[in-house]
Amino acid sequence: MSAAVPSPPPGEFDLIARCFHRHRAPRPGVPLGPGDDCALLAPRPGMQLAVSTDMLVEGRHFLSTVAPEALGHKALAVNLSDLAACGATPLACTLAIAMPRGDADWLGRFADGLYALADRHGIALAGGDMTAGPLNLSLTVIGEVPTGQALLRHGARPGDTLWVSGRLGDARLALEGFRGTVRLPGEVFDRVRLAMERPEPRVALGQALRGVASAALDLSDGLLGDVRHLLARSAEALGRPQPLGLRLDADALPRSAELAAQPLALQRLCTLAGGDDYELAFTAPAGAEAAVREAAAQAGVSVTPVGRIEDETGLRCVDAAGRPVAADYLAFDHFRG
Amino acid sequence: MSAAVPSPPPGEFDLIARCFHRHRAPRPGVPLGPGDDCALLAPRPGMQLAVSTDMLVEGRHFLSTVAPEALGHKALAVNLSDLAACGATPLACTLAIAMPRGDADWLGRFADGLYALADRHGIALAGGDMTAGPLNLSLTVIGEVPTGQALLRHGARPGDTLWVSGRLGDARLALEGFRGTVRLPGEVFDRVRLAMERPEPRVALGQALRGVASAALDLSDGLLGDVRHLLARSAEALGRPQPLGLRLDADALPRSAELAAQPLALQRLCTLAGGDDYELAFTAPAGAEAAVREAAAQAGVSVTPVGRIEDETGLRCVDAAGRPVAADYLAFDHFRG
């Protein structure tokens, strides 16, 4: 008897091949793309690899109503933002996806959004996995950085200036709009929801800041919560038992005209503890201002000095006149959030 | 006013630090472990990196009653099995986990199982992510393989022998025991469920087969379904429009005494299409038998010749006497399964 080898069922493998094999051809740095047990990467000599993983869950990291293209963009963008924070050049990513049903239309549109951003950054979707289950997207990104030049969360010193890129708080303002806690005119809502749904990872800025910034991280849980890690890790590296301190100028935090038109309390919430910003926060010696501004110009991204790292542990949040600003926001936490 | 920087909430970050920071110290090949935006890997000169991602969903890839230690083992094992199939040496992994509540006891036991296997393979858990959501585990493993020496799914040629490692079918027998479609005495059930819950990735065998095997993959969806990929990819690489053919000796498929004591139809199902085996299937030229056996001895793993790659497309499944065996099983598919 000669039975035909069963043809591929119109499920998992068919969907993967249809939606996620656009980067199968070998490319520089990625000699083997998707379709085998592993992908193969060929980092250049002298390079270390930066690796980061982020998982996005429906109803937590994105609304179920989001356009699949936007979700594909955002799933990759939040991961690239981690590479940006390290000053790495993106090389490849993998995608694991669980979804209730194999919906080829939805997946194709999701893939469109993901590949558009991947192609802009010259990065291959090199492999992954697909299964049935509650909607869940887990991406791992891999980038290259010259040995010893990665930007890290530690390295800040008392006296360093704290900078942030771009503008903060629009994503949170959009979320409050979705939640109905604030009423936004249609065109305002349309502009700020772009910040929430289409964050632009600061990859070029991260690379330009190598050798300039003393420490860096990306802002995903809100400035106050995230910068805590930088203060703690930098103190650890200096052998100090307490985190470094921060004097933060709340009025200096860069914000859009749309956010600046909101009540001050909402501006404070959105800029200090908004979450989902995907901007870089980084420190540099006070004397490095010109180098920071040059790196920013090279990357085409605005940067703003917003505070100063201090010896004395604790956060001193002030307004433009130097008056204290209450800043007792808790960092976002997925098991509290 | 000098407000204290908010202390870490007893949630996400606390759980990560408590359960998943055992590999924070720098180690060879992994100069920066978890705790920053990215981990840093330093592959050795002349090495390519093999990368693979697998996602495990509760109720699909594991039963909700599984011991967390066993799940930690299995989540990493199924990923290492992909590195094994490429002949790569494991270097690091990342873990993204979604769980309904931050259960420190469960997580600690899960971590125990994962780290035990990681330590046995000298691999660092270098980073990851944690969030609230339906239980989902997504791992990415990264290994090193000398440039040009990775085992791939293509490379098989007509005349090559098909080999499998270890024994097939026990994991499926255990699953049928859980499902109640077969009654297994307690001690039999205990032995075969080890195959399901504690698969041993064939990492040493994969490495020993570099330069010996012509093609390889790991068995996760069942032999017949998986080997289809090898036949199709190898034909593609030879420029053939149809998959290569396979003559498979169903009686030669290695099985445990426990499985061999079951009705023949159940043995066939479990060995031909069982799934969850995490053994290697690989091809080698007929003249390479001694080299294959030497590699297997070196790795301390049994290997068995089970068939022959043929020019004529299609599967010809026969018994020991050469009589045809019905083998019309469909490959496991997550959107059909």
Residues 158-177 of B with CB under 8 A from A: none
C-alpha distances in angstroms, A153 versus A166, A281, B12, B48?
19, 10, 18, 28
Q: Which residue of A has its CA nearest to B56?
A: A131
A24: exposed, middle or buried (C-beta count within 10 Å: 0-12, 13-18, 19+)?
middle
What sign for the dihedral angle of Cα B121, B122, B126, B132?
Answer: positive
Across the interface, do B3 and A130 touch by the CB < 8 Å criterion? no
Q: Does A188 touch chain B (CB under 8 A)?
A: no
> So what's the pLDDT on residue A19?
87
> So what's the pLDDT on residue B335?
62
Residue written as token pair 């699949």: A68
3-state secondary structure of B311: coil
Strands (E), A256-322: 280-284, 303-310, 314-318
Share of chain B above pLDDT 90, in %: 83
Smallest Cα distance from B101 to chain A, Å: 7
Average model confidence (pLDDT) across chain B: 92
Strand-pair partners of B164? B281, B304
- Is residue B131 over pLDDT 80? yes
Smallest Cα distance from A200 to chain B, Å: 17
Residue type, A245: G
- Is residue B7 over pLDDT 90? no
> So what's the pLDDT on residue B2?
43
Across the interface, do B41 and A49 touch by the CB < 8 Å criterion? yes
Contacts of A130 in chain B (CB under 8 A): 55, 334
DSSP-derived pairing of the beta strands A161-165 and A124-132:
unpaired
Contacts of A143 in chain B (CB under 8 A): 38
Across the interface, do B330 and A6 touch by the CB < 8 Å criterion? yes
Helix or strand (DSSP H, E) at A178 = helix A170-179
Which range has the worst mean pLDDT, A101-105, A188-192, B1-5? Answer: B1-5
- Is residue A299 over pLDDT 70? yes
Residue written as token pair 């025991």: B177
As for the ipTM of the complex, it is 0.90
Smallest Cα distance from A134 to chain B, Å: 7
Q: Does B266 touch chain A (CB under 8 A)?
A: no
pLDDT digits 0-9 by tens, B150-172: 999 999 999 999 999 999 999 99
Average pLDDT of the residues in B173-177: 95
User: Which residues, other chains included, contact B225 with Cβ-Cβ below 8 Å and sequence gap of 6+?
Assistant: A6, B273, B329, B330, B331, B332
- Is residue A9 over pLDDT 60? no
Instruction: Enumerate long-range contacts of A249-253, CB under 8 Å, 24 or more apart.
Output: A249/A306, A249/A307, A249/A318, A249/A319, A249/A320, A250/A317, A250/A318, A250/A319, A250/A325, A250/A327, A251/A319, A251/A320, A252/A304, A252/A305, A252/A306, A252/A307, A252/A320, A253/A164, A253/A168, A253/A169, A253/A223, A253/A304, A253/A306
Q: b or e along B182-206 (b: 16 or more beta carbons within 10 Å of the residue's beta carbon)?
A: bebeeebbebbbebbbebbbbbbbb
pLDDT digits 0-9 by tens, A23-44: 888 888 999 999 898 999 999 9
Smallest Cα distance from B261 to chain A, Å: 27
Kindly list the structural domains of chain B, giving each domain's residue range(s) and its CATH number in brackets, ordered by start: 12-34+48-146 (3.30.1330.10), 161-318 (3.90.650.10)
| Nearest Cα residue to A31 out of B224, B279, B248, B150 | B150
Share of chain A above pLDDT 70, in %: 95
pLDDT digits 0-9 by tens, A230-242: 999 999 999 999 9
Average pLDDT of the residues in B43-70: 92
